[in-house]
A and B are shown apart, each in its own frame.
Chain A
Amino acid sequence: KAGVTQTPRYLIKTRGQQVTLSCSPISGHRSVSWYQQTPGQGLQFLFEYFSETQRNKGNFPGRFSGRQFSNSRSEMNVSTLELGDSALYLCASSLGEGQGASEQFFGPGTRLTVL
């Protein structure tokens, strides 16, 4: 079974630009979560989607948004990039319901650098 895939793996943008990151979950998984990882703040929860609906959201500004498609693939968008948005963005997928619903599997991440 293929794992969680994230594209692109590396991205360089300049301040003020916007960026879209993509995540394809494990086949059969209907829940996708996004996390921001930085050396200073650690792993911070952005949001989680299940069956195309956002089910929970972390404490990030409205510049951070996401969506989930009917095939469970998810995208997150960051508009008006700031230097502080430089981070590793991790996506995780899980079944979302039923036994084993809480077990998450992570992708390799997208390394975003904002110049």
Chain B
Amino acid sequence: GDSVTQMEGPVTLSEEAFLTINCTYTATGYPSLFWYVQYPGEGLQLLLKATKADDKGSNKGFEATYRKETTSFHLEKGSVQVSDSAVYFCAIRWSGGFKTIFGAGTRLFVKA
């Protein structure tokens, strides 16, 4: 069946370190891919998205590229800040499919 697999956390980094959070998926058809971020006590916020193969989504220094050949959508940031500490969710959703599948989430801690 359709699924999303994220690297397990928590991930602990020092400020200004490089971040990669891996995400791979199994899906029929051609879903759109998303990264969401959840700060403590809040709902999910859309971080970035990509709707077709080779699309690169970017926002607030975060980037991810839709890799159809490897069914991956890894999240990267060149220099993390303490304020990036949160839980990150990878997700897939089909236009007109009325369902979203989320990964388990990866908790990121950034130390000053």
Residues in A lying within 8 Å of B, measured CB to CB: 4, 31, 33, 35, 42-43, 45, 48, 50, 55-56, 90, 92, 96-97, 101-109
Contact = CB atoms under 8 A, between A and B. Distances in A.
Given A42-B105, A90-B43, A106-B43, A50 B98 contact: yes
A115 B29 CA distance: 43
Minimum-distance CB pairs A-B, first 6? A55-B98, A106-B43, A106-B44, A43-B102, A56-B98, A48-B98
B54 to A, nearest CB: 18
A107 B46 CA distance: 11
Interface residues of B, number: 25
Contact of A56 (B34, B95, B99, B105): B99
Contact of A108 (B32, B34, B43): B43
Given A101-B96, A102-B51, A103-B49, A42 B43 contact: no
